[in-house]
Amino acid sequence: MTAQILSAIFTIIIGVGGCVVYYWGANKILDTVFPSRGVSGAAAVDNLRRQGLIRPWLFVGPAMLIVTVYLVYPVIETLRLSFMDRGGENFVGLANYSWALGDREFRSSIFNNLLWLAVVPAACTFFGLIIAVLTDKIWWGNIAKSLVFLPLAISFVGASVIWKFVYEYRAEGQTQIGILNAAVQYLGGTPQVWISTPFWNNFFLMVILIWIQTGFAMVILSSALRGIPEETIEAAVIDGANPFQIFWKIMVPQIWGTIAVVWTTITILVLKVFDIVLTMTNGQWNSQVLANLMFDWMFRGGGDFGRGAAIAVIIMLAVVPIMIWNIRQANREGGGGH
């Protein structure tokens, strides 16, 4: 444990320190090669212009290199593998995609992903919006927001471990240490193995992601609500609108663009959901999702690079259009587009 902590601290120091050294050193070298001080006026102007042309690339260059190495290349390689056999050596055309469309587990994963899409983005956005509105009306609102936002700092695996204790089941006659089963038993009910109950276990897993992402929705929507002109609220009050009407007919329409961005951002996250399912059920009991199925085929028992890559491409094709729309909508909200 101590070694892991020291390793994490060392990694943070090297990572952050390396960035500081790089940017400081790059600026220093640039200023040395093209000095703007101690030279004649015309030369100083030329050097400042050269610095202005080069400096953005010094800052953006490493990020572009990392994106190319860790994003662009893997996408191209995944596309290639999706047309190859299990070992990634022989071309098989669309055979992997044909298999996916006919595979029962793949169809079950599609259904579960659609179920997640129908529930999680809507629930996160709804709860985030309600909490954002209510916490603006109370003196301890910032404390409440901090508590709601806190789960966002926890990794999906860490959150899953926490919720495993909530859903924990012990055999009849033993003390129920899971909060949910303890409550059920206290109320006279029968404890259940919640995460192994087909269909319903999907909803118990969704609760974890809703718990994590509600804080994200709350923060973004709270900021949007504060941008609503007070004049519109005052005019509605003068016209006799009640709080419910003000919320739904005055406030929500004015932040609808932000709501859509939050909704689609969480939708993209849901399409890629993996950690929670892997940690809680490993896709058992009809809880499989596309990302976990891809992992199974590519790296575990399946051992088929072609099929795993085909599933990855399908996930990517589902995510990219939503991501493009999300970026355009965010640009409109920020005044960067029409």
Q: Give the pLDDT of residue 64.
A: 86
Q: Is residue 145 within 8 Å of residue 217, measured between CB atoms? A: no
- pLDDT mean over 204-223: 94
* pTM (two decimals): 0.80
What is the structure's pLDDT at 72? 85
Please say if the pLDDT value at position 214 is more than 50. yes
* 84 SS3 class: strand
Q: pLDDT tens digits, residue range 246-303?
A: 888 888 888 888 898 899 889 989 988 899 999 999 988 999 999 999 988 888 766 7
Query: Taking the domain 96-156+198-332, which CATH number applies?
Result: 1.10.3720.10
- How far apart CA 256 and CA 125 sit, in angstroms, is 11
Beta-strand runs (E) in the chain: none
Q: Where are the domains of the chain?
A: 2-81, 96-156+198-332
Nearest partner of 274 among 253, 298, 255, 258, judged by Cα:
298
| Backbone CA torsion sign across 264, 267, 271, 274 | positive
Which residue is listed with tokens 């709270």?
222
Judged against a pLDDT cut of 90, whether residue 210 lies above it is answered with yes
Task: Name the percent of the chain lying above pLDDT 70.
Answer: 97
User: Where residue 337 falls among pLDDT bands split at 50, 70, 90?
Assistant: very low
Please write the tens of the pLDDT for every residue from 166-202. 999 888 777 888 899 888 888 888 888 889 989 999 9
Given a cut of 90, whether residue 135 has pLDDT beyond it is no
Number of H helices, E strands in the chain: 16, 0
- What's the burial of 167, exposed, middle or buried (CB within 10 Å: 0-12/13-18/19+)? buried
Which H or E element spans position 185? helix 179-186
Question: Residue written as tokens 């919320």?
Answer: 247
Nearby residues of 91 by Cβ (< 8 Å), 6 or more positions away: 83, 84, 85
Distance CA 131, CA 137 (A): 10
| Spatial separation of the C-alpha atoms in residues 273 and 262, rounded to whole Å | 16
pLDDT at 123 over 90: yes
Task: Please check whether residue 191 is in contact with residue 185, taking contact to mean a CB–CB distance below 8 angstroms.
Answer: yes
pLDDT digits (tens, 9 = 90+) for 139-152: 787 888 889 999 99
Q: How far is CA 165 from CA 45, 176, 177, 181, 194, in A?
A: 65, 10, 7, 10, 12
Torsion, Cα 81 87 92 93, to 10 degrees, reads -10
